[in-house]
Amino acid sequence: MATDTAITSESANYAMVDPRSPRFGQTVTALGLVAGIAFQQPIFVFAIATVLVVSAVSGWRLDLYGFVWRTVMIPIVGEPATKEPAAPHRFAKLLGAGFTTLASLLLLATLAGAPATLAVGGYALAGIVGVLAIVAAAFDYCLGCKMYRQVSFFRRLGWV
């Protein structure tokens, strides 16, 4: 019975997140994508896409941003006063993973000899994700989180 209680407690804790943690991840995402675009180095875009995709595919268990936040940053900044639901942030991260993966595929195609216009498209997608990450980190306005709430609304109505 104690195991069931521990699992329930862990699941409840897993569903909540330190509100500073997503902002940390958004900042790292923004910096990585801006660096990739500024230096025209697709490796930065590939790295960000990899971190986001591994997080999503692992069911958020292998989240490099979360790991760094918990092991490096929490000892520095301290425990959070409150926590917030993780689901909207995960949805936003999933969207970021999808768009950075598409950007990576376009950049890889260019490296394989496809027309250079695909690189422009890849960097443009990376730029959009980067700008949205900057807005989320700096102004606490997460478009993916807002979209999650809208999808939830339509799900409750039975439309989705």
Question: Is 3 within the bounds of a domain?
Answer: no
Is pLDDT above 90 for 160? no
Question: Is 38 within the bounds of a domain?
Answer: yes
Is pLDDT above 70 for 134? yes
> Per the structure block, which two tokens stand in for 34?
């801006």
Question: Is 13 within the bounds of a domain?
Answer: no
Question: Is 55 within the bounds of a domain?
Answer: yes
Calpha distance 155→143 (Å, rounded)? 18
> What is residue 10's predicted lDDT score, i.e. its pLDDT?
43
| Other CB atoms within 10 A of residue 125 CB | 22
Beta strands in 33-77 (DSSP E): none
> What is residue 6's predicted lDDT score, i.e. its pLDDT?
40
Which of 80, 112, 106 has its CA nearest to residue 16? 80
Q: What is the mean pLDDT of residues 66-93?
A: 96
Mean pLDDT, all residues of the chain: 91
Question: Is 140 within the bounds of a domain?
Answer: yes
> What is residue 159's predicted lDDT score, i.e. its pLDDT?
76
Tokens 């692992």 found at: 58
Is pLDDT above 90 for 91? yes
Task: Return all residues near 131 (Cβ < 8 A) that are at least 6 apart.
Answer: 30
How many structural domains are present in the chain? 1
Calpha distance 17→85 (Å, rounded)? 6
Question: Is 1 within the bounds of a domain?
Answer: no
Calpha distance 135→132 (Å, rounded)? 5
Question: Is 11 within the bounds of a domain?
Answer: no
> Per the structure block, which two tokens stand in for 121?
């498209």
Q: Is 16 buried (19+), middle (13-18) or exposed (0-12) by CB count in 10 A?
A: middle
Calpha distance 117→97 (Å, rounded)? 22
Is pLDDT above 70 for 138? yes
Range of the domain at 113: 19-157
Radius of gyration from C-alpha coordinates of the chain: 17
- 16-72 per-position pLDDT tens digit: 999 999 999 999 999 999 999 999 999 999 999 999 999 999 999 999 999 999 999
Reported as a pLDDT band with limits 50, 70 and 90, residue 152 is: confident
Question: Is 64 within the bounds of a domain?
Answer: yes
Is pLDDT above 90 for 156? no
| Other CB atoms within 10 A of residue 100 CB | 29
